[in-house]
Chains A and B, each alone.
Chain A
Amino acid sequence: MYILPPLLFAIALAASPVLASPMAYALQPEASTVGFETDFGPDKITGRMPVTQADLSLDFQHVAASTIAVTLDVAGAEASFPFAAQAMKGPKVLDSGDFPTITFQSTSVKTDGDGAAVQGNITIRGVTKPALLHAVIYRQAGTVAGDLSLLTIRLTGSVKRSAFGATGWADAVGDEVRLDITARIQRVE
């Protein structure tokens, strides 16, 4: 993975006419995952959740015009040991039977260092709360510098599961769930 900090959201890009106006991207679902991690006593529970849908519109000149919307498949989630996945999908935590998806919809995007601060609303168990994710964009392996047709966007942040009513096993499992989302995206021509 090649980091493109000078490229992303940067003045250098402004010179290229190709980059004007938002560009729509489609998700490469097979190459995209949502990783999560939470505390379990002194240990960690880690896992992944498939991304079922992502609508991304990236504007490298006017970053604020970018939008990100993502839908996750709760039932397809996996965790580092079998009980954790079952507990997580069960009614006391994510309740995948009644709430099969988690969604994120950006409300504002701002440049932030080498990346962007993406403010948005996340809906878990039918409860919608604001969440802040940090985004960094990389170019995918095998692409040349300046090629924006294939990108990798990494979003990191955290949520407090109690805020969404996902309170099961609170005495054993941490409240903060740290997210590390890797979305590989392809520009829609």
Chain B
Amino acid sequence: MRWRNDPQHFGAVTRLIHWGMALLIVSMLILGTKLANMQPNLSNLALYGLHKTGGFLALSLVIVRLIWHRISPPPAPLGPPRAWANRAAKLAHGLIYLLLLGIPLSGWIASSATGIDVMVLDRFVIPPIAPVSAAWESWGFWVHGVLTKALMGVLALHVAGALKRGIDGDATMQRMIGG
């Protein structure tokens, strides 16, 4: 098995992080949407903790991924680099990385601002990164929601683009799935 990326292939580490994050992000979008519309009570309170754990994991994974891509750069997109599809893909990937940093950070900021400990795995308190303040809290959750909706939009384009390449018969999907 090839762990590292090379100029033609995605290595196992990148593919594992890509599909692991895909699963995590789709689950978190569903869970987060549920939380936003949920009346909290004792039996569903743990879902907030689960969401924070997932968010902390997502933030950690995106940082690991960015570091890994410095160590082992991923292959360039297939096809001519100046094609509009590749420029759009590059823009979408950049936006996804920014949103994957901004969404957990805004959630962490808003949660810190509530004054309640931010817990991960139900036992570890992660330090607050914002003052306890109603303004920071409402601003943070607003940003969290707006960025999440932006992510949903960009991910829809990302999936549509990948499917289009698959239908057109280029190898982009195969190399992210099979290396």
The residues of A that contact B62 with a CB separation of less than 8 Å are none
**Does A40 make an interface contact (CB < 8 A)?**
yes
Q: What is the minimal beta-carbon distance from A138 to any residue of chain B, in angstroms?
A: 32
**Does A90 make an interface contact (CB < 8 A)?**
yes
The residues of B that contact A41 with a CB separation of less than 8 Å are 39-42
**Does B132 make an interface contact (CB < 8 A)?**
yes
Cβ contact of A91, chosen from B41, B42, B45, B115, cutoff 8 A? B115
> In chain A between 69 and 109, which residues have their CB closer than 8 angstroms to a CB of chain B?
81-83, 86-87, 90-92
**Does A172 make an interface contact (CB < 8 A)?**
yes
The residues of A that contact B134 with a CB separation of less than 8 Å are 92
A-B contact count (CB 8 A): 34
The residues of B that contact A40 with a CB separation of less than 8 Å are 40-42
Q: Are A91 and B132 in contact (CB under 8 A)?
A: yes
**Does A43 make an interface contact (CB < 8 A)?**
yes
**Does B116 make an interface contact (CB < 8 A)?**
yes
> In chain A between 158 and 189, which residues have their CB closer than 8 angstroms to a CB of chain B?
172
Q: What is the minimal beta-carbon distance from A133 to any residue of chain B, in angstroms?
A: 28
The residues of B that contact A86 with a CB separation of less than 8 Å are 115-117
Q: Are B42 and A43 in contact (CB under 8 A)?
A: yes
Q: How many residues belonging to A are interface residues under a CB distance threshold of 8 Å?
A: 13
**Does A42 make an interface contact (CB < 8 A)?**
yes
The closest CB in chain A to the CB of B133 belongs to: A91
> In chain B between 23 and 47, which residues have their CB closer than 8 angstroms to a CB of chain A?
39-43, 45
Q: Are A81 and B116 in contact (CB under 8 A)?
A: no
Cα-based distance from A91 to B134 in the complex (angstroms) = 9
Q: Are A90 and B116 in contact (CB under 8 A)?
A: yes
Q: What is the minimal beta-carbon distance from B132 to any residue of chain A, in angstroms?
A: 6
Cα-based distance from A83 to B40 in the complex (angstroms) = 12
The residues of A that contact B43 with a CB separation of less than 8 Å are 43
> In chain A between 18 and 53, which residues have their CB closer than 8 angstroms to a CB of chain B?
40-43
The residues of A that contact B45 with a CB separation of less than 8 Å are 81, 83
Q: What is the minimal beta-carbon distance from A2 to any residue of chain B, in angstroms?
A: 35
Cα-based distance from A124 to B134 in the complex (angstroms) = 20
> 25 pairs across A/B with beta carbons < 8 Å?
A40-B41, A40-B42, A41-B39, A41-B40, A41-B42, A42-B41, A43-B41, A81-B42, A82-B117, A83-B116, A86-B116, A86-B117, A87-B114, A87-B115, A87-B116, A90-B114, A90-B115, A90-B116, A91-B115, A91-B132, A92-B114, A92-B115, A92-B134, A172-B39, A172-B40
Which residues in A have some Cβ–Cβ distance to B below 8 Å?
A: 40-43, 81-83, 86-87, 90-92, 172
| Given A82-B117, A90-B132, A172-B40: 8 more A-B contacts, CB < 8 Å | A42-B41, A43-B41, A43-B43, A86-B117, A87-B116, A90-B114, A90-B115, A92-B115
Which residues in B have some Cβ–Cβ distance to A below 8 Å?
A: 39-43, 45, 114-117, 132, 134
